[in-house]
Structure 1
Amino acid sequence: MLRFLIKFLLLVIVLVAITMLTAQWKLEKDVNSFARVIAPFADFKYESARIGLSGEVKLNSISVYIHSLSTSVEIGELRLFVGSLYDLAFFESNVRHNKLPENAHLILQDVLVPFNSSLLRALENNQTPDSFDLLSAAYCGDIDRIGIQEMESMGYDYLAFSSKEFYMLDKYSGSVVLNGSVDIEELLNLEYQVNIGGVLGWIESMEERAIGQNQPDIISPNLSLLELRIKDQGYNLKKAEYCAAKENVSTDEYYAGHEKKVHEMMSKSGIDMKESFKQAYLNFIKPESALLWFIQPKASFDFEGLKYYTFDELRSEVGLRVAVDGEPVTEFFDGWTPENFSDIANKELVQRAEKDPTKSRYKMVTVTRSYQNVIISRAEQYIDFKVRATRDDGMVYEGKLKKTSPKSLWITLRKQKGEVVIPLARTQIVKFEVYKEDRKTEE
């Protein structure tokens, strides 16, 4: 009997070792395959990849160089869990068949995103500012929003953060729970929880419609709870010093001037800030403030009808609770409606235009899509793009570029009975075009 148990134990150890080696081999194969897929856009490198008995995947010392932005994103450690080794093996297949994992997590440690001119240009917002933008930038010189350029001027040369994201599926209620935290160095710490109800019912209704069953309406998921906890970790002070310098005042004078300007802008649109809210807002914009924002909408609440609610009605329907530095905010506004809030931007922009009518403040960016000639030697950079290839016999093939090789291109063509992939010899292609965006900026 003892000999049998020893043999059985040795067999289990061997099977576990084989399973781990197979899982490790597949992990490295999948990571390298991912690196090849994104190679036209980014260089993905990592120091090591490991998978544990629990099924958790760990990648260490990741570097992602994004070609278009000339930026290298560094990640100290990435940890991913979507279930056991068995669940991980079939994760991709399960997702394709709308089978959600019961729980999962994604943990990123020591992520570093350095700012450079290419990244700043890419993230620059040239759209007309809305009311929220203008209120955030109130009493801050002549700027109309706090964007990435302004943050660089405040002294942010990079973005460094760590995050923990957790997911759980409640099969009994059919809802999904998301919670986690994001800790951004010298900026803020965010903790959140999101409950989304009706997810399984939504998937089921989609599947029934896909197979032709009588399903008149798709059952949409609904937000059942949202809780945010935001702790300032340096942003409020940097913003105060930046704006105070633009207004040539002290930081204390900036806080008072900003609150006064916000109240003035809202009053012009018929919104009156209550005194207790003014004090809460002052506390919120100061260093090391802590904000709690919680909603739990009623089952009867319809987000599509948001614009028809007054603030008090909206607060009641969504169960809004707010606290600043642990003190509940019980009074907010008089006269607030979505239309009035949107009108803040209209009135402020008209007033600024009247003061300086000759100044062109915004740029118009026109985005068009068209076929553009591309050197065929660069075809591998446009996998999954819509392309058009003209052969030397005059035949034109239009479809999605599936893959390439040194001698051929494979293009997916859409036919009446489905899709077909055909190979085209590079030597026979006289013209190769890619369907791409073209951006034109006008003052």
Structure 2
Amino acid sequence: MPVPSHRQSFLRQFWVLPRPAKTILVGTFCARFASFMIWPFFAVLMARNFGTSIAELGVVFSLSAFAALIASPVSGIIADKLNRRAIMLISALSILGLYSVLAFGRDEQIYFAVIVGMSVANGALEPLLRSALGDCAAKDEDRPLLFHIRYYLVNIAGALGPLCGLWFANQNSNFAFLAGAVAYAVLALCIMKSVAPSIVVSDREEMPISTLLKTAVVDRLFLTLFISNFFLVILYAQIDEPLTFFLMSLETPDINGIIASINVTNTSVVLIVHLFLMKWLVELEEHKAILAAFFFLMLGLLVIASNRSEVRELWLVAIALATLAEIIAMPLFATVVDRTAPVRLRNSYMGLYMLSNAGAAAVPFAAAMVIERIGGGPLFLTSAIMCVPVAYLGFRLLSATRQREKIAEQAS
């Protein structure tokens, strides 16, 4: 696989992708831009407009996360059996409508309902967008590049979205929700143009969904990735809503500016690494990658826990360190899951893999309770300490899997 060494070569590789892949990536970029523009500011917006407490915010974000997790495998299984494109269009148009409701709604309960509804629709949509992108790969060697480009574009959206969102938040304007509706209209058009109703398989590959699901359950590599990601996202999730809650509890000045800076820092680190270290990331062995990821995440959490003076630059250093963990693990896991999934089960595999985010779903509520009672310092310190045993577990699982693969290759 050719590896881009600078921005120009990366763009050249994007333009030579198959048209369906480019269309899916453009739609994904628009949808993620809208999400990054709006979602980071939801907590501050509701607290300011409705006086919503941190505990209430924790409940609604956790509930919405669990709802999204349930929707992901359900949509994947249904898509493998029925019409994938129809499910994707229904999900995208539902989010479009819900953003329109937010643009004109002024009630706290409406916001709660819309947040949960959008989470369900996004949960149903995300695994199908990934599997549709994987279908664009002519051979397995093309998959890493597709998913790295996807990851790269998502993080460009992550850099630009919060800047637009900050302006809307400071203006206390609801026009951001209309912009989100337009973004999902573009995504719906991209889905119509580029996504086949279902995955084309041969008669030999066609089999009952129940049989295919059993394949996923006994797939040791899939389970290894699932378990590793399950614990990774719990600890990584501490730098999302919990960090926002922590800043709110500290009554940090210019909190909107800090939230925007955090998101831009996260994305900037990702973009720089993709431009200059992609070759190393692609070639890094899985068991070594998991150690490196948890090491950087532990450092980031320790910086947050120790920043008692609320130095703005230290928040950003912590995010940069945690982002290094993200860029090592996230594209790697998605690529391996897509590559190893049976063709007829690709949507289901992606949906089931999304369940590995279940641990993060409870994080906003649990973190809100801890922060309100004993503060954020102990929360982030404990999370940093937990990185050590979890890294060891992931290393052992991935090392054992790698050894079995080598033995199988030698035997064949």
TM-score using structure 2 length:
0.20
Q: Which structure shows the bigger proportion of residues in strand conformation?
A: 1
Higher relative contact order (CA 8 A, sep 6+): 2
Larger radius of gyration: 1
Between structures 1 and 2, the one with greater helix share:
2
TM-score, normalization: structure 1? 0.19
